[in-house]
Amino acid sequence: MKVWGIGVGAWRAAALGVTLLVATAACSSGTSGAPQSLSLSGQRVPLTEVTSAYSQMCSVSSQAQSDPRATVAPFAGAEGGLNVLATVLAKDHGQQSQRLLAALSTFQADISLNPPAGTSGEAAANLLATAKQGLEALNITPPPC
């Protein structure tokens, strides 16, 4: 299966690259409560990167219930922000980070099949719920779905 002319293997490699790239991300906040921004290899990343990814995942999850094949391209837009979230969680919420990465991997695997796995809708809903828990663990209010 190809998305924008790129094979699924290339997407997986790119996702792994993003995950490795953001491996040094950390929350940056002078006080307790919600962080004001995220640090990604020394660069400031606005919170909107992870909250926008969550919002995109709301749409992806809804679409995956009826047409998982149509979620491949929209998910690609959310995936980077969800990887940033998982990396930020790794600093102080390791188990939550691992759950998010596992949910990401499961959904990726489901939609990479041709046709997508029958469990894609369930995997998308699980990924959305896990991302929400991750945001809440960082004291970030998830956008409404």
Per-residue pLDDT of 69-97, as tens digits, reads 999 999 999 999 999 999 989 888 999 99
Parse the chain into domains and list their residue ranges: 44-145
* pLDDT tens, position by position, 3-44: 445 555 544 444 444 443 433 333 333 345 566 776 556 667
Given strand 43-46, what is the order of strands in its sheet?
Answer: 26-28, 37-40, 43-46
pLDDT band at 127 (very low <50, low <70, confident <90, very high): very high
Q: What's the CA angle centered on 28, arms 25 and 34, to 5 degrees?
A: 115
